[in-house]
Amino acid sequence: MSVVIRLARAGTKKRPVYHVVVADSRFPRDGRFIERLGHFNPLLPKDNESRLKLDMDKVKSWLAKGAQPSDRVTRFLDAAGIVKRAARNNPEKAVPRKERKAAEAAAKA
């Protein structure tokens, strides 16, 4: 059984609120979960302390048991200093398409 720490959507239409939950990876996003670890409200400003609430003791215990955090949850845990997020590098996507085509044409010539 692979266990993940991920977000489960709650709230109403166009007013999302997410629960940070531990679930079996085979279960649906908003379906059955093992334990709720906190909540995230993306509508609040980023500097608002109630935007993200997590029970860090439970998160650490689940990570010790082998639970894998999703990408978004990894961002939260990196900001909290619990998990180090790997740096991503995709230089092809960073350049606009016209400039990328011009660079490819110049490289061929």
* pLDDT (tens digit per residue) in 57-109: 999 999 999 999 999 999 999 999 999 988 888 777 777 888 888 888 888 87
Query: In whole angstroms, what is the distance from residue 59 CA to residue 69 CA?
Result: 10
Classify domain 3-108 at the CATH class level: alpha beta
Point out which residues pair with 52 in neighbouring strands. 40
For residue 34, the surrounding DSSP H or E stretch is none
Which residue, among 60, 55, 63, has the nearest Cα to 37 in the 3D structure? Answer: 55
Structure confidence at residue 1 as a pLDDT band (50, 70, 90): low
- C-alpha separations of 72 from 40, 56, 75 in Å: 11, 16, 5
Query: In whole angstroms, what is the distance from residue 6 CA to residue 63 CA?
Result: 12
Predicted model pTM: 0.78
Query: In whole angstroms, what is the distance from residue 67 CA to residue 6 CA?
Result: 10
pLDDT in tens, 8-65: 999 999 999 999 999 999 999 999 999 999 999 999 999 999 999 999 999 999 999 9
Domain segments of the chain: what residues?
3-108
